[in-house]
Structure 1
Amino acid sequence: MNRVVITGLGALTPIGNNVNDFWQSLVNGVGGAALITKFDASKFKTKFACELKDFDTLNHLPKAEARKYDLFTQYALISVEEAVKSSNINFDTLNKNRIGVIWGSGNGGIGTFQQQVMEFAQGDGTPRFNPFFIPKMIVDIASGVISIKYGLRGINYTTVSACATSNTAIIDAFNYIRWGKADMIITGGSEAPINEISIGGFNASKALSTRNENPKIASRPFDIHRDGFVIGEGAGAIILESYEHAVKRNAPIIAEMGGGGMAADAYHLTGTHPEGEGAYLGMLAALEDANISANEIDYLNAHATSTPQGDMSEMKALERVFGRQSKLNISASKSMTGHLLGAAGAIEAIACIKAVQEDIVPPTINSVDIEPEFKDLFNLTLHKAQQREVNYAMSNTFGFGGHIATTIFKKYKS
């Protein structure tokens, strides 16, 4: 099977609007949570989120084009453009029939859906819908728009597995390339969920933190005082291609993808298995796929959403996979970015890839009083980044419905 390498990255996050700014914020422990500005949240139980900062779509897309797309598609296009540029791709010199797009989003155009339905409900019953309503809303549209922009006629679809979505997309892209079904695939995910129905819905399910008095420290994975996740928005894009294809076009190879594993909790509609059964199986599958042992993983980016049950079940799974060993560094980037839902796996994969490239493990911030059962179990890289050799990095993502997807990235060696 083909080796699969990473040659380009793009990021649009609550702590940085490009890969470099995102990475520097991660390493320096910058938090992205603040009071919501996108709508009046004064009557909501949660009044804060991790929004993009100093961002204007029109600095990246013409107004006429932006009007055709929901925010989640705009975010996708912008992050992909950065990834394409960083990969030094000239599509006109490549076989576009063998270049594909596998993109992920959990909610798709939920903002467009809210706007159109509310306008209809507040009217006189006459159906006056925007002609772009359906193509702006459907979850697969971002992958289609990306392929249209660059003229890519290869494999093209969207994955949906809740908060495991973009890791699922990355694993699928990895497999198609190593099976020889594509030379290159643009993958990742985007999400634009900061609106009334998302906040209200997650509040109703008691999933969100309500630490309104101090949003900056609300996301505190593994802390005994954690009270829910902080929702975030943005996108992450990754260029995957076969080693041979990358070498032939003299591409800048950043890292290599080692493997991926998927599983299911098969337990509950929204809750994780108490013993982390699905997480355990997903990590084992990823290790087997990468043909490495657990003690070869140097850094693990935990799913760690800062929910009471979820963090505990993941820790139990980690103990089953890795035992009580001191070599492994773990950190939870959601303590800074918040939870980007279907886009979480993409930006956390980028965090892992940069950790492998730079030999730096970003920290977990805000967490002070760690669960006593696991306080001394692992190095959670609390509060400060740690410089160390990172040959293999693992990224966990888990989603409502029990979906599990784990990816592994490794240092590139020619």
Structure 2
Amino acid sequence: MSLPLKRVVVTGLGALTPLGNDIPSYWDGLVNGVSGAGFIKQFDVTKFKTKFACELKDFNPENYFERKEARKLDRFSQIALVAADEAVRHARLTEPGIDHDRVGVIWGSGIGGMITFIEEMKNFANGDGTPRFNPFFIPKLILDIASGHISMKYGFRGPNFATVSACASSTNALIDALNYLRLGKADAIVCGGSEAVVTEAGIGGFNAMKALSERNDEPHTASRPFDLNRDGFVLGEGAGAIVLEEYEHAKRRGATIIAELAGGGLSADAYHLTAPHPEGLGAYNVMKNALADADMKPEDIDYINVHGTSTPLGDISEIAAIQRVFGEHAYNINISSTKSMTGHLLGAAGAIEAIASILSTVHDIIPPTINHFTDDPAFDPRLNFTFNKAQKRVVNVALSNTFGFGGHNASVIFKKFSE
């Protein structure tokens, strides 16, 4: 006879995003409809088709790390540690009495240490062919190293690994953490994701795929989910961290409970390397699976933080799936794409968008989809896309979608916490 699954709650949040370097500034940017886009400062963009991105603002690693320590960390690990520290402190996860053998770390990234790889290969290519590589080359670039660094910083010895499923990576981390906690395999898990690929290879590679917006004349309005004239996504960087905790454990230690993670769903498009299923089949399945896992009906959902990347095909297929899943109730739901403000953080997108969903249930505010100028006749005008301005409404339950290249789909459902 199987035991009932344990409840899982949110007790800590941390964020480092193009809108701000902590949770309060991130949320303030979201509800005020701030664009994080601007011309790229990290490298010379003169010859690139896309010259802008959503970069972090005023992020100096030496404000957080000793110079020697910072040099041992790729940027994606640096920002992972900063976001995780905010979440761990928020959750008071290092206070006496917590069994560190039962605290884990599950961290997602779509690409990992791209900056380190580029730098080392440039150095090798500019040399005489002698392989003089930094001894930290491999430990800096491997994708699982961020979760390792977080665990080593705090001595968390529970489950520890990385998830990689392109843009769904950090949502997969949340779902894995949810299931470990439900089954009693840990008491708390620091989970989320980070990405730092605003680089020559990142911009150039996505340009070659024709995935990025090339609206260089007005970068701050380039991310236009659901707008008729959307022309691709805007690349972003950053990290989001969430402390998930088994409810009884959180209650015993007097933790502040922010929200409850009610369930998660997974699916595959099984269709194409990069394009979504044209009928939104994978998106339909993942939302249905999430609802079933949370033991909820479509009518329970108040807000959907959509994947909504501002690509011509992706936006259409996701909305088709939403209308199929929710039927008439789709017209009662607020829909918004916070990527219109943050850009697309790839493997970190799921974590920062989950945080936006969580905070919507806390504050009863829907962040907007900014940069809407022209209606697209492909979308039903009765749907509420929360265009251009945040809206106040009671948000008891929020669903967050993330879909990745390769057809990887993941959705999570958060609800207001109640005893």
1:324–1:377 contact (8 Å) kept in structure 2: no
Q: Which ranges of 4 or more aligned residues in structure 1 deviate by more than 6 Å?
A: none
Q: CA separation in 2, counterparts of 1:146 and 1:84?
A: 10
Structure 1 letter corresponding to 2:338: S
Greater CA deviation, 386-395 or 372-381?
Answer: 372-381
Deviations 1:250-270 (Å, cap 9, x if unpaired)? Answer: 101000001000000000011
Aligned to 2:255: 251
- 2:384 matched to 1:384? no
Mapping for residues 167-246 of structure 1, pairs under 5 Å: 167-246=171-250
Which sections of structure 1, spanning at least 5 residues, go unmatched? Answer: none
Deviations 1:245-301 (Å, cap 9, x if unpaired)? Answer: 101111010000010000000000111000110000000000000001111100000
Aligned to 2:351: 346
Greater CA deviation, 361-370 or 169-178?
Answer: 361-370
Q: CA separation in 2, counterparts of 1:82 and 1:323?
A: 39
- Partner residue of 1:312 out of 316, 319, 327: 316
Greater CA deviation, 334-343 or 320-329?
Answer: 320-329
Identity among equivalent pairs (%): 61
1:216 is paired with a residue whose SS is helix
- Partner residue of 1:359 out of 361, 364, 370: 364
1:194–1:232 contact (8 Å) kept in structure 2: yes
1:91–1:150 contact (8 Å) kept in structure 2: no
Q: CA separation in 1, counterparts of 2:93 and 2:86?
A: 11
Q: CA separation in 1, counterparts of 2:224 and 2:157?
A: 43
- Partner residue of 2:63 out of 56, 59, 75: 59
Q: CA separation in 2, counterparts of 1:271 and 1:373?
A: 18
2:94–2:154 contact (8 Å) kept in structure 1: no
User: What is the TM-score when the length of structure 1 is the normalising length?
Assistant: 0.99
2:112 is paired with a residue whose SS is coil
Shift in Å, 1:376: 1.3
- 2:17 matched to 1:13? yes
Aligned to 1:46: 50
Aligned to 1:399: 404
2:378 is paired with a residue whose SS is helix
Greater CA deviation, 257-266 or 376-385?
Answer: 376-385
Structure 1 letter corresponding to 2:179: N
User: What is the TM-score when the length of structure 2 is the normalising length?
Assistant: 0.98
Q: CA separation in 2, counterparts of 1:324 and 1:410?
A: 22
Aligned to 1:128: 132
- 2:341 matched to 1:336? yes
1:107–1:342 contact (8 Å) kept in structure 2: yes
1:10–1:83 contact (8 Å) kept in structure 2: yes
Q: CA separation in 2, counterparts of 1:66 and 1:226?
A: 38
Greater CA deviation, 97-106 or 324-333?
Answer: 324-333
- Partner residue of 1:374 out of 379, 385, 389: 379
- 2:84 matched to 1:80? yes
- 2:415 matched to 1:410? yes
Aligned to 2:8: 4
- 2:108 matched to 1:101? no
Shift in Å, 1:119: 1.0
Aligned to 2:159: 155
Shift in Å, 1:94: 1.1
2:6–2:184 contact (8 Å) kept in structure 1: yes
Shift in Å, 1:90: 2.3
> How many residue pairs end up in the alignment?
414
Q: CA separation in 2, counterparts of 1:74 and 1:35?
A: 22
1:103–1:158 contact (8 Å) kept in structure 2: yes
Greater CA deviation, 324-333 or 299-308?
Answer: 324-333
Shift in Å, 1:3: 0.4
Structure 1 letter corresponding to 2:8: V
Q: CA separation in 2, counterparts of 1:127 and 1:65?
A: 24
Shift in Å, 1:378: 1.3
2:193–2:240 contact (8 Å) kept in structure 1: yes
Structure 2 letter corresponding to 1:87: A
Structure 2 letter corresponding to 1:194: V
Q: CA separation in 2, counterparts of 1:91 and 1:38?
A: 38
Q: CA separation in 2, counterparts of 1:138 and 1:88?
A: 29
Aligned to 2:114: 110
Q: CA separation in 2, counterparts of 1:383 and 1:375?
A: 17
Q: CA separation in 2, counterparts of 1:69 and 1:395?
A: 30
